[in-house]
Amino acid sequence: MQITCPTCGPAAPRNDFGRRSGFALARCGDCGLVFLDHVDETVNDAFFQDTAKDNAVPAQENAIEYWSFPNLYEKHRHVFDGFFDERLRRLRALKPEIRNLLDVGCGYGLFLNHVSGVIPDVQGIELDPNVADYARKAYGLEIGTAPIERFTTDRHFDVITMCDVLEHLADPLPVLEKCRSLLTDDGVLMIQVPNMLGFKVPYGHSWGLPHHIWQFSTPSLKRMLEKTGFRVVARHTGVMGVVGVYEHGGPTLGDRLAWWAGRHLGIGNRLMMFACPR
């Protein structure tokens, strides 16, 4: 089915954005959000299987570059833990005392397990029942498998994290609105998505098609968050595919320079945005 910009609605100007790896893209003329022209409703049903297949082929043009599998975590633990510590530091800079945290799309529970020793109450949501079951059995985590729109609790959370999830959602606005309703008044939502830069660092980062329905930039993600009742309080860029570089024999000096540029010059291919309820 053909889709439209969720932020600006079907009345917004719709521009052709060309094709990437055989998929037609459109661009919203108001907020600049780039998205698949058409989407199959079942496009993300086999996400974990597809990512495992893609990452086994280093040269594949549209590899999803999702590396957060338990076997790779054990092999490259220092890389993962470095990213997890960075995420926690940035959250604590905005919310020094974090009593509880909800991770939406928590995958195998790697981040939740990492912070469970320092945050008293952690919980996750993961739609894939096999992946959720791994997180429960391996780490003893509390993981729900219902979509967040149907998630019920009597708690409000100091922090909600949603990393590499929003770009996959067919209807992202209700998810963000639900996150806002679950946060404390001074809570923090952290969104992490691929960054749709004209100049991507590192070079050649995949568009992740067709699993990535939405291609976000800083203005388009900020606009979507504001539409759903948030105010953006911080933004960072980083780099994706770092684990893949280690897995394929790197990093080279060039890799390290690209990573530094991505983090410190604001041109990285991973976008982190932190927002609070208005």
Q: What is the pLDDT of residue 272?
A: 97
Q: What is the pLDDT of residue 64?
A: 54
- Looking at per-residue pLDDT, the higher value among 92 and 208 belongs to 92
Mean pLDDT, all residues of the chain: 90
pTM of the model: 0.90
Residue 113 lies in a domain: yes
- Looking at per-residue pLDDT, the higher value among 165 and 209 belongs to 165
Q: Name the percent of the chain lying above pLDDT 90.
A: 74
Write the pLDDT tens digit of every residue in 39-66. Answer: 876 555 554 455 545 544 444 445 556 6
Highest average pLDDT, of 40-54, 154-168, 195-209, comes from 154-168
Residue 212 lies in a domain: yes
Q: For residues 78-94, give the mean pLDDT.
A: 96
Write the pLDDT tens digit of every residue in 29-40. Answer: 999 999 999 887
Residue 11 lies in a domain: no
Question: What phi and psi values does residue 39 have, to the nearest 5 degrees?
Answer: -135, 140
Q: What is the pLDDT of residue 135?
A: 97
Number of domains in the chain: 1
Write the pLDDT tens digit of every residue in 94-136. Answer: 999 999 999 999 999 999 999 999 999 999 999 999 999 999 9
Q: What is the pLDDT of residue 44?
A: 53
Cα gap 272→151, rounded to integer Å: 24
Name the band, by pLDDT with cuts 50, 70 and 90, for residue 178: very high
Cα gap 5→194, rounded to integer Å: 17
Q: What is the pLDDT of residue 59?
A: 44
- Residue 57's contacts (CB-CB under 8 Å, 6 or more residues apart) are 63
Write out the H or E segment, with its range, that includes residue 75: helix 70-75
Question: Which pair of structure tokens corresponds to residue 177?
Answer: 């609105």
Residue with tokens 């989407």: 39
Long-range contacts of 92-100 (CB under 8 A, 24+ apart): 93/234, 94/188, 94/233, 94/234, 94/274, 94/276, 95/158, 95/159, 95/186, 95/187, 95/188, 97/158, 98/158, 98/159, 99/158, 100/155, 100/157, 100/158, 100/159
Q: What is the CATH number of the domain that holds 58?
A: 3.40.50.150
Range of the domain at 232: 44-277
Residue 12 lies in a domain: no
Cα gap 239→80, rounded to integer Å: 13
- Looking at per-residue pLDDT, the higher value among 143 and 206 belongs to 143
- Separation of first and last alpha carbons in the chain: 34
The count of other CB atoms within 10 Å of the CB of residue 219 is: 11
